[in-house]
Structures are given as C-alpha cells and as structure tokens.
Copies of this chain bind each other. A is one copy, B any other.
Amino acid sequence: MLHNSPSLTRLVGELKKLPGIGEKTALRLAFSLLRSRSDINSLAEALLELNSRVRFCSSCFSITEDDPCAICSGERDDSILCVVEEPQDLIAIERSGAFRGRYHVLHGVLSPLSGVAPDDLKIVELLRRLDVLPIKEVLLATNFTVEGEATSLYLSRLLRTRGLKITRLAHGIPIGSDLEFVDSATLQRALQSRNEV
C-alpha cells in the first residue's frame, strides 16, 4: 500500500468498480474529494438516499421514486408502447420530446454468450401488459448492436401473432453530420429510405 491509508485504498477499490474508472482516475477522484470534506459527506448521503428511494416501476420497470412511475400514472398515448433496453434509453427518448406513448424497460438484451436468456429480461411482464393495455403499435427501440437487433428480432417474432404493428427507429444521417464522415452502412440505409421533399 503506497499511500499508507487503508481507507483511501478501500475507496479507490470501490471507485474502480465503476465503468471507465481505473486506478489512476480513482485516485484522482479520491484526492479531489479529500480537498473538500463537505463534498465527501454530501456524495455519501446522495448515494444512500438513492439506494433507499429509487426503485423500479412495477409496471414499466423504469426507475422511479413513486410506484407506478410518473409516465405510467400520467396521461399518455395508450396505443403505442416503446420497448427499450435500459432506463437511460427511456430518458434519452423522453429528452427528444417526440414520443408521447408508454414505455417498457427490458433491463438488458438477449446475449447467449453472456448467458442472458429471454427469462432474464422483462419479457413475460411485457406480454402481460400487452394483454391489458389497448396497445396498437410496439416500437422496438433496442440499440442497433448485434444483441439489440437480435432482441428486437426475437420480440418481433414473439409479438407477430398478436396483430400488432411492430416498428423500429429509422436509420439515417444524424442531424448536423458531414456526409464525408458518415459510415457507408448508414449512408446506404439513408439512400434506401430517402424521402420526397
């Protein structure tokens, strides 16, 4: 132990569990905290508060402090349900302001290699909600990764028999992009799905 402090070593160990934080960054964060003692306490309190207050909505499985969450209990379009991988995807879509329907958070994607099977996701819960809610369209907004696409394919096959409209987010050129730097696969999709002006 180079810094003669078991509690510093312990904190560095805890910080290193976080994504994108290695030994050096953890040590830098710890020293930054040591410079303002009151921040250490308020960070610790914020963590404990998060742990005691935040839970998952029993309906859509997004994070919330009140169950059901504000979206599930609010006035929204009941005919469309957006299925996302994680609560942060829901936040991104809400931030866009372009979706007024309901959500369902899967809490992961199918990944046989990591041992994630359909039973590990909130799929049974999704089917149960579709039995109850007057949903007409399911927007599968999983990520455009191999696992995200596979999960989306799995769900579309599963829901096919229910006579629902199944949609995916559109592919295309991101707003503000330089054509020169857009990858060929995206450009290909954008050409295929070109719109009349």
Contacts and interface: CB of A to CB of B under 8 A. Distances in A.
Number of identical monomers bound together in the oligomeric complex: 2
A28 interface: yes
Interface stretch (A13-21, A145-153, A158-166): A13-21
B7 A53 contact: yes
Contacts of A40: 47-48, 50-51
A2 B46 contact: no
A17 B4 contact: no
- Size bracket, chain A contacts: 35 or more
19 contacts: A2-B94, A4-B63, A4-B64, A4-B69, A7-B46, A7-B50, A7-B53, A7-B54, A11-B50, A14-B46, A15-B43, A17-B36, A27-B88, A28-B88, A30-B50, A34-B54, A40-B50, A41-B47, A44-B51
Given A4-B65, A46-B14, A70-B4, A41 B51 contact: yes
A33 interface: yes
Contacts of A88: 27-28, 31
B32 A18 contact: yes
Contacts of A4: 63-65, 69-71
B49 A47 contact: no
Given A5-B63, A47-B44, A17 B31 contact: no
Given A5-B54, A63-B34, A64-B4, A49 B18 contact: no
B8 A63 contact: yes
A46 B10 contact: yes
A48 B42 CA distance: 10
Contacts of A3: 63, 87, 91
